[in-house]
Structure 1
Amino acid sequence: MNKIKIIAKKNQKEIRIDKFIKDNIRQNISRNQIQKLTISGKILVNQHIVKKNYKIKPLDFVEIEISNIPTIRDHLEYNNIIAEKINLDIIHEDEDIIVVNKPAGMVVHPGFGNYQGTLIHGIKYHFQNSNMKNFHLYRSGLVHRLDKDTSGLLVLAKNEYSKQCLSQQFYYRTIQREYRALIWGNILKEKGIITGFIGRDPKNRKRMTIFRNDEYHKGKYSITYYKVLERFQYLTYISCNIKTGKTHQIRTHFKYLGHPLFNDSIYGGNQIFMRKKYSNKNIEFLKTFLKILPRQALHAISISFIHPKNKKCYFHSPIPEDFQMVLQKCRKIFLQ
């Protein structure tokens, strides 16, 4: 990722953000591309997403993520991906979008250490075998992502118009995404809102962290709504709706609250939480649960948005078998 930071001068005249960026960076980028980045939330001013007609003011702090601008290199990278026959669980497809139920353990797109077997490898094979051989949109119109060990729904755009339509909905936060998670402990409130500036943890680059308000410039603002569905003494089953889609957002937020996701190895959820308070019998039960569900207990269960053809869509994915099995055992053992 190429991240550019610019601070407007004290005597900066108020001009549109696309002109300001065009005048202040060396990259060969058009104002139309800058507007697309703004719409997709890749340009922040003072740590906030702005509209494409925003006017820069003196001392504004501008951050730009350049990585997702479609370039010749991007298309070459996509063309260099070898299509792989992968069993994809496609729950909906039309001429504009494709909705996939991603299993836990599958990486979404190629990257360092993941050069094959990703969702995009499978998508490319699918397109080549469904009369879309000339499809060249980089990363197949990926407008959002799921972590490797998070299961659930992912929507992809199949053309530039659809990608722009979906990106705008993510930008304006009108897409509704519900996740189900199992967290350690008995969370105090029945429902709540978690906010904070999420950024890369300087002590461990594999995980994210919440920065203090006086360090907000190190992270990106994030919002998660949650409500309790069931309580199992030592674990709580919750529903989450995210208004922002930052890396590891739900995982970071509940770690911050002191309730890490069950079996989340990066955020400490793979160890039995508050072990000293449990009986030996319950410790053995929980050890068994960790073996049944060997990854973070997080599933993207539903997504709702306006289709590029202007109709409302809603898709649902049932809880995976390993996650469901742990829930059933919790109900049987801890709700007696």
Structure 2
Amino acid sequence: METSEKKLVFEIKRRLIDKRFDAAAFDLLQDKFPENDLSRGMITRLIDAGRVTLNGRAARSSRLVDLHDTVEVFETDLAIPAPELDAGREIAIPIVYEDEQLVAINKPAGIQAHPAGRTDRATVAHWIVNRYPALRVIGEDALRPGIVHRLDRETSGALLIAKTTPAFEELKQLFQNRAIAKTYIALVYGHMPEREGIVERPLMQRPGELKRFVVETQNIPEAARPAITAYRVIARYRDFDLLAVTPKTGRTHQIRVHLAFLGCPVVGDKLYAFKPARRGEKLFSARQLLHAYRLTFDLFEKKYAIEAPLPDDFRTLLLDIDETKEAGYDDEALKSLLTE
């Protein structure tokens, strides 16, 4: 019986020659989808069930693969349904602002906004139902109580949570209408081509990959989405630049893809940094050094300017690479850099 499920096809590269099928498939898929929390056991079970195939046919997990063999996997098997949300997990998340309409937090790096995929890690959503049980009914999805936007798991910074249904609906519209100004702080490898500039390049999903995006420069297909990112260098070090980045559109991974396109990927970016940077040969960072610093907007005739101070790991690293030692990188020092 034919299936309408979409299959993703990948080719065995030279480095995987003579590996077991299950090991090669896991290596290949983990490299393609580093944020999906895949496991070797999961891939083996999919192979045994005939859901991951070799050259279009079911094969034993122990079979050795060869150059140019193809590994096929159903897309739906890499997007495993999220678990139900429970209130039994406690994590520490700083609150930077709160009123009757919303709460703004400084999301730590390494914590997802809401459950997704196979992970059973605690998320911001778990924190919300622990601290604000009444917010379970706010929003459009029980797994995203009050959450109107998101940050990548490894991105830290300001995240808004609506406390009322009117606030949720209004904030959602503000984000959709690009009426919320966002400022990110990013540390990048190398030096930007200009001290200040705008990247206006459309983005699209990389063919055959669920969570990786690319800049399209020629023969732009309909699937490509317009994306605009403004940046300004606020500090320069021997091997790195510190940037204030303002995305004018809100595409997935937009800042990371645009900066990598300019040859200056975010430090610690496991998806888009060039390989030497990903291996940490220049500077080691356990996570990508991208931080959502400021959100400004009007809500119900009230002006908001939400700021999330740089987390300690980001500040410490900046102090380590700053040979002048003039800036402390606390909130006041950062504001000074942003206004220079």
Structure 2 equivalent of residue 164 of structure 1: 169
- The change in CA–CA distance for 1:270 and 1:150 in structure 2 (over 3 A counts) is farther
Deviation at 1:171, TM superposition (A): 2.3
- Quick one: distance in 1 between partners of 2:273 and 2:104? 31
- Matched with 1:184 is 189
For residue 94 of structure 1, report the CA deviation from its aligned partner.
Answer: 2.2
CA, structure 1 residues 215+149, in 2 after alignment: closer, same or farther (shift >3 Å)?
same
Which residue does the alignment assign to 2:57?
none
Shift in alpha-carbon separation, 1:270–1:97, aligned structure 2, 3 A: farther
In structure 2, relative to structure 1, the CA distance for the partners of 1:107 and 1:269 (3 Å cut) is farther
CA distance in 2, matches of 1:167, 1:206: 23
- Summarize the Cα distance change of 1:136–1:299 in structure 2 as closer, same or farther, 3 Å threshold: closer
> In the alignment, which of 115, 123, 128 is matched to residue 110 of structure 1?
115
Is the CA contact 2:105–2:308 (under 8 Å) kept in the aligned structure 1?
no
Residue of structure 1 in register with 2:36 after alignment: none
Could you say if the C-alpha distance between residues 168 and 329 of structure 1 is closer, same or farther in structure 2, counting changes exceeding 3 Å?
A: same
Q: Give the deviation of 1:334 after TM superposition.
A: 10
Whether contact under 8 Å (1:174, 1:305) holds in the other structure is: yes
Q: Is the counterpart of residue 271 in structure 1 residue 276 in structure 2? A: yes
Gaps (5+ residues) in structure 2?
1-81, 327-340
Letter of the 1:313 counterpart: Y
Q: 1:180 corresponds to which letter in structure 2?
A: I
* Aligned mate of 2:215, from 210, 213, 217: 210
Distance 1:158 1:300 in 2: 21
Indicate the RMSD between aligned Cα atoms, in angstroms: 2.5
Q: 2:330 — aligned with what? A: none
Aligned position for 2:296: 304
Residues 1:328 and 2:332 are matched in the alignment: no
Equivalent residue of 1:100, what SS? Answer: strand
Percent sequence identity over aligned pairs? 32
SS in 1 for 2:220: helix
Give the SS at the match of 1:245. coil
What is the correspondence of 1:1-336 to structure 2 with a 5 Å cutoff? Answer: 80-83=84-87, 84-128=89-133, 132=134, 135-137=137-139, 138=141, 139-269=144-274, 271-272=276-277, 287=281, 289-290=283-284, 293-307=285-299, 309-332=300-323
1:271 alignment partner, SS class: helix
CA-to-aligned-CA distance 1:138-169 (integer Å, 9 cap, x gap) = 21232211000000000121222112211222
3-state SS of 1:105 partner = coil
In the alignment of these two chains, the number of paired residues is 241
1:20 aligned residue = none
Paired residue type of 1:81:
L
Q: Distance in 2 between matches of 1:206 and 1:171?
A: 21
Instruction: Give yes or no for contact 1:108–1:146 (8 Å, CA) kept in 2.
Output: yes
Which TM-score applies when normalising by structure 2? 0.65
| Equivalent pair of 1:262/1:296 in contact (CA under 8 Å) | yes
Structure 1 residue 213 displacement after superposition: 4.6
Q: Which runs of 5+ in 1 are unaligned?
A: 1-76, 276-285
Please tell me whether the aligned partners of residues 200 and 209 of structure 1 are also in contact (alpha carbons under 8 angstroms).
yes
Which residue type is aligned with residue 179 of structure 1?
A: Y
Aligned partner letter, 1:302: R
The answer as to whether partners of 2:277 and 2:283 remain within 8 angstroms in 1 is: no
Q: Residue 220 of structure 1 aligns to a residue in which SS?
A: coil
Counterpart contact for 1:182–1:261, Cα < 8 Å:
yes
Change (3 A) 1:110 1:185: same
CA distance in 1, matches of 2:274, 2:96: 31
Find the aligned partners of 2:135 and 2:207 in 1 and give their Cα distance.
43
Residues 233, 334 of structure 1: 8 Å contact kept: no
For the structure 1 residues 215 and 133, does the alpha-carbon distance in structure 2 shift closer, same or farther, using more than 3 Å as the test? Answer: closer
Shift of residue 81, structure 1, vs aligned partner: 1.1
TM-superposed deviation, 1:214:
2.2
CA distance in 1, matches of 2:126, 2:138: 13
Asked if structure 1 preserves the Cα contact closer than 8 Å seen for 2:138 and 2:164, the reply is: no
Distance in 1 separating the partners of 2:325 and 2:259: 22
Contact 1:178 1:303 in 2 (8 A): yes
Could you tell me which amino acid in structure 2 is paired with residue 325 of structure 1? T
In 1: Cα distance, 2:186 partner to 2:208 partner: 26
Q: SS at 1:217's partner residue?
A: coil
Aligned counterparts of 1:252 and 1:89: Cα–Cα separation in 2 = 28
TM-score normalized with structure 1 length: 0.66
What residue identity is the alignment partner of 1:261? V
